[in-house]
């Protein structure tokens, strides 16, 4: 089975722009979770989507949003980028809800905001 894929792998943007990241889960997995990883804050939970519905949300501003499509692929959008948004964005998929099942991570998208 193919693993979790994320595109693009690297992205450079400037402050004020917006960005969309994509995640394709393992075939058959219905849950996709997004995380932000920075050296200072570690791994922080952004949100989880299950069957096209947001099931859980972390403590991030409304500039961070996401959605999930009927084929379980998910996108994450960040609007009005700030320097502090520079991070490794990871998505993880699981066959059922993330909190109840093993999670499998993608390679991440490295976002740099200049």
Partner 1 sequence: KQEVTQIPAALSVPEGENLVLNCSFTDSAIYNLQWFRQDPGKGLTSLLLIQSSQREQTSGRLNASLDKSSGRSTLYIAASQPGDSATYLCAVSTIKAAGNKLTFGGGTRVLVKP
Q: Which residues bind partner 1 (CB under 8 A)?
A: 4, 33, 35, 42-45, 48, 55-56, 88, 90, 92, 97-100, 102-108, 110
Q: Which residue's CB is nearer to partner 1, number 70 or number 102?
A: 102
At closest approach, how far in Å is the CB of 80 from partner 1? 26
Q: Which residue's CB is nearer to partner 1, number 79 or number 86?
A: 86
At closest approach, how far in Å is the CB of 44 from partner 1? 8
How many Å apart are CA 26 and CA 89, to the nearest integer?
A: 17
Q: Which residue's CB is nearer to partner 1, number 81 or number 92?
A: 92
Cis previous bond, 41, omega within 30: no
For β-strands 5-7 and 74-78, DSSP reports them as unpaired
Output Rg (C-alpha) for the chain, integer angstroms: 13
Cβ atoms of residues 108 and 92 within 8 Å: no
């Amino acid at each position: 089975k193919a693993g979790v894929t994320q595109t693009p792998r690297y992205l450079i943007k400037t402050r004020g722009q917006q960005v969309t990241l994509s995640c394709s889960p393992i075939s058959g997995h219905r849950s996709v979770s997004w995380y932000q990883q920075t050296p200072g804050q570690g791994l922080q939970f952004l949100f989880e989507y299950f069957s096209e519905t947001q099931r859980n949300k972390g403590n991030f501003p409304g500039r961070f949003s996401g959605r999930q499509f009927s084929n379980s692929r998910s996108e994450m959008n960040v609007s009005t980028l700030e320097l502090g948004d520079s991070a490794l964005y990871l998505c993880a998929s699981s066959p059922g809800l993330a909190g109840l099942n093993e999670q499998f991570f993608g390679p991440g998208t490295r976002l740099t905001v200049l």
